[in-house]
Amino acid sequence: MLIELTEIDKSYRDRQGQPVSVLKQLSLQVEQGAFVALSGASGCGKSTLLNILGCLDRFDGGEYRFDGENVGAWSEGQRADLRNRRIGFVFQAFHLLPFLAVEANIALPFMYNHHGQRPSHEHIESLLKSVDLEGMSQRYPGELSGGQMQRVAIARALVLGADLILADEPTGNLDSAVAQGVLDLFELLVQQGKTIVMVTHDPAISARADRQIKMEGGQIDSDNRRESVGRAK
């Protein structure tokens, strides 16, 4: 099991200092190679859940095991290292650095790698080829379309060989044809053994995943798996 969340509690304090519960006793297991869509109304806790899965946020109670390790108890340095090597992030707003060319944007995670991994032009070119952006390594984000920028962001998420891709509304800024292209890419990655957890509002997008989890009030409301799953794991 790649992800095991057990009875996770998470609350914030509002402006008056009162605690507001966002996740309540939430338990979730995600196996390696799964393609999970998280949906639910605004404020239901799906982005908070994604942040906890990505070790970007801490929780108040419960346990989070990533690939068997109790990462909830890890130091900030260990969690940063885990994010760097094993978790890739894809966001609605792409978050590419506008002053860096595509190749430098994709190589950015190497900057925070403490295991001697170094970027190579060949590796990045092959990644660009896999996301249909061959020959664009010297372009700047401002010269790319929304779909191309999201593909660069996906390549960046994969550059250090992440097992888990966390995608927060990855198609939110894309038109539907381009969005389908990104989902095709995600399906391909899942076939290669990557695990994807994707937050989306769109039922059509959600339907492309193997597993649809609907959240409500900080808890899992429904968890449906698609029957006809025939992908290589």
Partner 1 sequence: MSAAKNMSAAFQVAAAMPGRVILLALPVAAATALALATLAIDQGLSAKAEQAARSFGQDVISIRPGARVIAGQSGTATSLSAEDVDALLERLRGYKAIEGTRREDNVPTSAGSKSGRYKLFGVRPPWADVRQFGADRGDFLDDDDVQSSARVCLLGQTPTRELFGDQDPIGQEVTINQVPFRVKGVLVTKGSSPAEGDRDARIVIPVTTFYDRLYKRVHLDQIVVQARDSEQATLAKLEGDIQSILRTERKLKEGEKNDFTIRLPSTIAEQSRGVSRNVFYLLLGLAGVCGLAAVFLIVLVYGQAVRSRRGEIGIRRAMGATPGDILIQFWAEGLVTSVIGGLVGVLLGIGGAYGLAASRGLEFGFGPLVVVAPLAIVVFASLAGLIPARSAAGLDPAEALRPQV
- State the Cα–Cα distance between residues 45 and 214, nearest whole angstrom: 11
At 178, which helix (H) or strand (E)? helix 176-191
Question: Minimal distance in Å, beta carbon 62 to partner 1?
Answer: 17
Residue nearer to partner 1 on the CB measure, 85 or 123: 85
Question: Minimal distance in Å, beta carbon 90 to partner 1?
Answer: 10
Q: What b/e string do you get for 33-65 counting C-beta neighbours within 10 Å, with b at 16 or more? A: bbbbbbbbeeebbbbbbbbbbbbeeebeebebb
DSSP lists the bridge partners of residue 197 as 36, 166
Question: Minimal distance in Å, beta carbon 227 to partner 1?
Answer: 34
Cα-to-chain-centroid distance, residue 142: 23
Residue nearer to partner 1 on the CB measure, 58 or 129: 58
Residue nearer to partner 1 on the CB measure, 86 or 231: 86
Q: Which residues bind partner 1 (CB under 8 A)?
A: 47-48, 51, 54, 56-57, 76-77, 80-81, 83-85, 89, 91-93, 95, 97, 99-100, 104, 108-109, 111-114, 156, 168
Question: Minimal distance in Å, beta carbon 57 to partner 1?
Answer: 4
Strand order in 87-91's β-sheet?
87-91, 164-168, 195-199, 35-40, 211-216, 219-225
Residue nearer to partner 1 on the CB measure, 95 or 233: 95
Residue nearer to partner 1 on the CB measure, 168 or 210: 168
Residue nearer to partner 1 on the CB measure, 17 or 230: 17
- Residue 160 and residue 113 in contact, taking contact as beta carbons nearer than 8 Å: yes
Question: Minimal distance in Å, beta carbon 95 to partner 1?
Answer: 4
- Residue 38 and residue 165 in contact, taking contact as beta carbons nearer than 8 Å: no
- State the Cα–Cα distance between residues 213 and 150, nearest whole angstrom: 24
Which residue type does 134 have? E
In the numeric block, the tokens 């391909």 are attached to 188
Quick count: other Cβ atoms within 10 Å of Cβ 72? 19
